[in-house]
Amino acid sequence: IRDVVRHVGDDDASKGVDYLNCEIELAILDLHDEFANIAHVDIHEDVIGAGEQGLMSGYASAETEELMP
């Protein structure tokens, strides 16, 4: 992740983000059993999709009152 941040040009705190010192939070969670049981009822295992999934990334910045860059 740090290599990507560096590659897009955020390599110094004066630019907004320093790839060496920024905080990176990674959270991978299991699919809740209740949801998995509902989503896959009576479906053949060959056609079961990925279920609920999502990706989120972002950062806060003190540049504006809203903490948006």
Which tens digits make up the pLDDT trace of 10-67?
888 888 888 898 888 888 777 666 666 665 555 666 666 665 667 777 888 888 888 7
Q: 0.95 exceeded by the pTM? A: no
Measured at the alpha carbon of residue 32, what is the angle toward residues 26 and 35, in degrees to the nearest 5?
A: 135
Domain ranges in the chain? 1-40
62-69, long-range: CB within 8 Å, 24+ apart, which pairs?
Answer: 63/16, 69/16
16: which residues sit within 8 A by CB, 6+ positions away?
Answer: 10, 61, 63, 69
**What's the confidence (pLDDT) of residue 17?**
86
**What's the confidence (pLDDT) of residue 45?**
64
**What's the confidence (pLDDT) of residue 63?**
83
**What's the confidence (pLDDT) of residue 20?**
92
